[in-house]
Amino acid sequence: MVPQQRQSRTQGRMRRSHDALTARRTVRCPNCGAHKLPHAACRDCGYVRPGLKLEFSKED
Ligand SMILES: [Zn+2]
């Protein structure tokens, strides 16, 4: 399908005004201070939340 009429420069720009990407949010691990994704286990120490700590071997 092909547009029936060319969209104006302003209309195209107005549509793209919502297209910007935002950087990935990270939080500091309260256990070791490393950056980690929120609601995820820390890559360095495995800390998730008080009372829950995951043990895993580093694969990367
Ligand atoms: Zn940590």
1-47: pLDDT as tens digits:
888 999 999 999 999 999 999 999 999 999 999 999 999 999 989 89
Distance (angstroms) between ligand 1 centre and the Cα of 21 equals 27
Contact of 26 with 37, CB cutoff 8 Å:
yes
Name the residue with higher pLDDT: 36 or 57.
Answer: 36
Please tell me the predicted confidence (pLDDT) of residue 1.
Answer: 87
pTM, two decimals, is 0.52
Contact partners, residue 30, CB within 8 Å, separation at least 6: 47
Distance (angstroms) between ligand 1 centre and the Cα of 5 equals 55
**Of 45, 15, 8, nearest to 30 (Cα)?**
45
Please check the confidence at residue 59 and state whether its pLDDT lies above 70: no
Query: What is the residue extent of each domain of the chain?
Result: 24-50
